[in-house]
Structure formats: structure tokens, C-alpha cells
């Protein structure tokens, strides 16, 4: 059996490839299946699934929701979501409106810093999909206000930086609830970004999420080291959670990261999808 990638972004959010392109790319790279998991939007799913059918390649409808959490960030993946579910669509509509309010405020903040960036430029960088901070970063680099994408984030865009503006997030409980309602399998993405202080703090949080309906943990992820992987795996075992994995590939190859291939030769086996499917039919 082949390998898979269960964490990918397209132009529907802040990825570089269109949904069709990423599906064709995954097949060309020899993967057996992928999940499309754009931030807070399902706009890329229809196209991705239809391209998958056209070229006979398995595409799982997914999503990645940014939930309320501090001091780090919490992302929740939903696999096999029913993209026509009314509650899911209502909640995502709310998030879209929250972004539409936040983004012009970030432009204002930049302008007040003497940085001449317009909302039109950021919209253009987004290519018509949902607008996010990576599109701001692109414009800042292009116009010479930052030397690199990372510098743009560090100076202006990351939490607490000069042009950062908070955007509304649902709580983990609310996010897991609407993923479950839409028949999705809710999975905690890249636990390392939670910035938990040690194992027991992470364990307590996971315990709480499990009570709220969490079904899995993203164990395999390019930024997880061997210790992280072992720790997340043991938590998954202890709480009967599924193990998933993905690269979070956004279409920009960096440091050996590519679709389906993390750093250090990380590969994700197809058997993970079989466990996901089994879990889905149980619920
Ligand atoms: P947004 O959806 O506007 O909140 O932007 C979130 C996206 O910005 C994430 O998915 C990352 O791709 C990127 N991002 C967030 N924080 C950072 C950071 N500190 N450095 C680089 N990229 C980041
Ligand atoms: Zn992203
Ligand atoms: Fe994420
Ligand atoms: Fe992601």
C-alpha cells in the first residue's frame, strides 16, 4: 500500500496550488490519497473531489479550524466532513465575515506604520480565495518592506506583532461540535503549536478535548521531532485516539518538505485512512 498526506492547503485558503493542481500533483508524486484541509473554508473541496474522480485518485474532504487557545495556537482538523451540512456552513460563514472585518484593520495598522499596502494588493495576492496573513506577507516582501516571508511575520504579522489584529475564533468545544455534526472526524492538528508546558498540561488538555468529542491526534508532522512523535503516540494510545499525519504543505517547497514527504523522510501509510474510515462508520 502507498503513502498519503492528510494535511494540505490550496488557493482556497493560503496554499499556492489550486485544488485540481494539488490533486494532480499528489498523484504524480505517487501518493495513494490526500485530504484537502484548508483553513476555515470548504471552498476548494468540490473542485478537489471532482478532479480526484476524474483522474481516479482518492481525495478526502477536510477542513482545518483555528480554535480559541492561548498562548500558542490550536488547530482542529475535520476529515470526511459533509460539506453541505447547514451548521458547518453557517459557522464557516461566520468565520468568513470575521476575516473580512479583520483584514482591512491590518491594512490600516500597516498604513499607520508608514507602510503603503492596500487591501486590493492583498486581495490580489490571495488569488480570489480566502484572505489570510500569508497573503499580507507576500505583499510585504514583494514591496520590499520585509526581506523574507518569515521576517514579514516576525515583524508585522505574528500574534502580538506590530500589525497583528485578533480575529474571532470558536472555542475548541464549539469547533469539535460542528465538525462532528457535519459527520467529520475531529483531530487535533500539530500539538506542538499549543505551546503546552510539559506532558501533563498537554494530557489534561487532550483529556478535555476527548470529552468534547475529539477523535484523533496528528502525530506525524514535519515540525514534530522523535520525542514529540513518541509522546503524541502514547497519548493517542492512552485515550483511544486515532493517529493521523500530514505535511501542511502550502505549495512552497522549503527545506526538503514536499507533499507526502516531511523532513527526515517522514512518510504516512495508507492504513491511517482505513482507521479513519472505521472510526467514521462506528459513529
Ligand atoms: P490567518 O489564517 O490569517 O490567521 O493566517 C494563518 C497562517 O499564517 C498559518 O496557517 C500559517 O501558514 C501562517 N502563519 C501563522 N503564524 C506564522 C508565523 N509565526 N510564521 C510564519 N507563518 C505563520
Ligand atoms: Zn496556512
Ligand atoms: Fe495549522
Ligand atoms: Fe495547516
Q: What tens digit of pLDDT does each residue of 233-249 get?
A: 999 999 999 999 999 99
Establish whether residue 190 lines the binding site of ligand 1, counting it when its CB lies within 6 angstroms of any ligand atom.
no
For the CA of 154, the closest atom of ligand 1 is 19
Residue nearest atom 19 of ligand 1, based on CA coordinates? 158
Which residues crowd ion ligand 3, with CB under 5 Å?
A: 75, 189
For the CA of 14, the closest atom of ligand 1 is 12
pTM above 0.85, yes or no: yes
Q: What is the pLDDT of residue 280?
A: 86
Establish whether residue 51 lines the binding site of ligand 1, counting it when its CB lies within 6 angstroms of any ligand atom.
no
Query: Which DSSP letter does residue 32 get?
Result: S
Q: Which of 13, 73, 133 maximizes ligand 1 atoms within 8 Å of its Cβ, making it the mutation to test the pocket?
A: 133
Establish whether residue 43 lines the binding site of ligand 1, counting it when its CB lies within 6 angstroms of any ligand atom.
no
Closest ligand to C-alpha of residue 132 is 1
Q: What is the pLDDT of residue 256?
A: 74
Residues of the chain falling short of pLDDT 70: 253-254
For the CA of 75, the closest atom of ligand 1 is 10
Q: What is the pLDDT of residue 18?
A: 97
Find residue 99's DSSP bridge partners.
none
Question: CA of 23: how far to CAs of 37, 52, 57, 261, 270, in Å?
Answer: 12, 6, 8, 15, 16
Distance CA 156, CA 179 (A): 32
Find the 190 Cα to ligand 3 centroid distance in Å. Answer: 7
Q: What is the pLDDT of residue 266?
A: 81
Q: What is the pLDDT of residue 252?
A: 77
Q: What is the tens place of the pLDDT at every residue in 46-85? A: 999 999 999 999 999 999 999 999 989 999 999 999 999 9
Q: What is the pLDDT of residue 272?
A: 97
Establish whether residue 75 lines the binding site of ligand 1, counting it when its CB lies within 6 angstroms of any ligand atom.
no
Q: Which of 69, 122, 132, 194 maximizes ligand 1 atoms within 8 Å of its Cβ, making it the mutation to test the pocket?
A: 132
Q: What is the pLDDT of residue 180?
A: 97
Distance CA 272, CA 8 (A): 16
Burial class (CB in 10 A: 0-12, 13-18, 19+), 187: buried
Q: What is the pLDDT of residue 253?
A: 66
Phi, psi of 157 (to 5 degrees): -110, -20
Amino acid at each position: 500500500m502507498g503513502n498519503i498526506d492528510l494535511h494540505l492547503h490550496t488557493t482556497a485558503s493560503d496554499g499556492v496550488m489550486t485544488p485540481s493542481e494539488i490533486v494532480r500533483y499528489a498523484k504524480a508524486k505517487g501518493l495513494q490519497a490526500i485530504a484537502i484541509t484548508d483553513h476555515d473554508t470548504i471552498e476548494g473541496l468540490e473542485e478537489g473531489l471532482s478532479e480526484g474522480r476524474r483522474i481516479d485518485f482518492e481525495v478526502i474532504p477536510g477542513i482545518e479550524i483555528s480554535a480559541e487557545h492561548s498562548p500558542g495556537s490550536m488547530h482542529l482538523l475535520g476529515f470526511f466532513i459533509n460539506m453541505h451540512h447547514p451548521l458547518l456552513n453557517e459557522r464557516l460563514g461566520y468565520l468568513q465575515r470575521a476575516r473580512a472585518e479583520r483584514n482591512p484593520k491590518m491594512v490600516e495598522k500597516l498604513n499607520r506604520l508608514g507602510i503603503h499596502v492596500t487591501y486590493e494588493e492583498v486581495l490580489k495576492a490571495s488569488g480570489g480565495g480566502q484572505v489570510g496573513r500569508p497573503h499580507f506577507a507576500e505583499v510585504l516582501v514583494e514591496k520590499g518592506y520585509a526581506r523574507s516571508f518569515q521576517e514579514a511575520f516576525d515583524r508585522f504579522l505574528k500574534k502580538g506583532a506590530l500589525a497583528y489584529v485578533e480575529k474571532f475564533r470558536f472555542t475548541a468545544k464549539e469547533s469539535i461540535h460542528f465538525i462532528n455534526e457535519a459527520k467529520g472526524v475531529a483531530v487535533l492538528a500539530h500539538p506542538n503549536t499549543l505551546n503546552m508546558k510539559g506532558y501533563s498540561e498537554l494530557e489534561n488538555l487532550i483529556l478535555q478535548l476527548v470529552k468534547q468529542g475529539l477523535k484523533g491526534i496528528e502525530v506525524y508532522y514535519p515540525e514534530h521531532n522523535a520525542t514529540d512523535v513518541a509522546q503524541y503516540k502514547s497519548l493517542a494510545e492512552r485515550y483511544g485516539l486515532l493517529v493521523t499525519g500530514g505535511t501542511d504543505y502550502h505549495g512552497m517547497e522549503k527545506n526538503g518538505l514536499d507533499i507526502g514527504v516531511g523532513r527526515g523522510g517522514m512518510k504516512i501509510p495508507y492504513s491511517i485512512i482505513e482507521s479513519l474510515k472505521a472510526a467514521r462508520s462506528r459513529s
